[in-house]
Amino acid sequence: MRTIGILLSFCLVVAACSKQETPASEKKEEAKPAEEAKPSPEDAVAATPDVVEEPATPDVAEAPPVEAPPPARLWPTTLDVSVAIKPSQLEAAFEPFNEKEIVVAGHPMFFFDEDSLKGRVGLNIDATNKDTKSRLVECTMKADDEEKFSKTKVVVLKGKAEGYNNNWKHFVIKDCEKVAILDAMPARVENVDPDKADPAAPIPADQLMELVSWADKEVLLVGSFNGQTTSTTTYGVSHRIDMYDAGADMFSGNVSVYLKEKAGDEHMGSSKVWKVKGKLSGGTSFRRPEVVEAEFVEKVSD
């Protein structure tokens, strides 16, 4: 038995020695993971996408609302029959100088070549006109002025406007006072403002007449009316309506309109708006501008 044990031990030793160790030179190194390459500064710049920086929006204060300019003043010289206007516009423009201070210039219509300013003095732009001729402006002096001068001179007068006399076709001014005596007519005034009388810029008599002479001017009104008055006189039958602005008070009639033909029910009523074309007489009716020979042109709304 002892001999068998020794033999088994010997075999185990031999088996262990038979295992040869692999040489270090033949050993294969295990592959290590590759290190990530670090980009150079130049590569980093190239890889950066182009970014466009938008300029910062400066803080801008909110602009105040812009008010619409007031409508241009209406004059006989600017009235356009192709453009419809409200009755209130015509009423406001019709007598712009009345009861306001006004300064005018013109040749005095003396009967003699030389005289002074007394009583009623007519003004014209023609130095040859005598006081028996038609005048453009009639001034009633506040007090007699004793200074005599030639009618070839131009006199500047200021006073309070009474208005246009449609019968005599001249403009009337009261409480007149002499401002100056000139050798020639002053220049026409640009952008006349009836609310600002300027002794340094008097309105020539002929220009003043252009600004107040509405007679025979055609006008196109747009508005409403509620009723009509039919009258029979020696001149014939007339049909009068009092027009007011659409949507305004029915009792605020601004213009007296005399129709060629009687208005029908389809024309009357505050909700009905019509365009009416006619011709200004130059005077007033019931203290309103008077339009004659009028007719309905177009229905604007029902």
Tens digits of per-residue pLDDT, 99-146? 999 999 999 999 999 999 999 999 999 988 777 778 999 999 999 999
DSSP per-residue string spanning 156-218: EEEEEEEEEETTTTEEEEEEEEEEEEESSPPPPPSS--TT---TTSPEEHHHHHHHH--TT-E
pLDDT bucket at 70, cuts 50 / 70 / 90? low
Q: Residue 290 and residue 11: Cα distance in Å, rounded? A: 150
pLDDT tens sequence across 4-39 = 454 445 444 444 444 444 454 444 445 455 555 555
What confidence score (pLDDT) does residue 27 get? 47
Identify the pLDDT of residue 51. 55
What local confidence, expressed as pLDDT, does residue 257 receive? 98
Q: Is 276 helix (H, G, I), strand (E, B) or coil?
A: strand
Question: Each residue of 168-207: pLDDT tens digit?
Answer: 999 999 999 999 999 999 999 999 999 999 999 999 999 9
Averaged pLDDT of the chain: 85
- Measured CA to CA in angstroms, residue 256 lies from 21, 66, 73, 253 at distances of 134, 36, 21, 8
| pTM score, whole prediction | 0.74
**pLDDT tens-place string over residues 209-249:** 999 999 999 999 999 999 999 999 888 999 999 999 999 98
Q: Which residue has the higher pLDDT, 104 or 73?
A: 104
On the 0-12 / 13-18 / 19+ scale of CB atoms within 10 A, 111 is: exposed
Q: Which alpha helices (H) appear in 85-178, and where do they start and end?
A: 87-94
Tell me the per-residue pLDDT of 40-60, one tens digit each, with 9 for 90 and over. Answer: 555 554 555 555 566 665 665
Rounded Cα gap, residues 229 and 127, in angstroms: 47
Per-residue model confidence as pLDDT tens digits over 144-156: 999 999 999 999 9
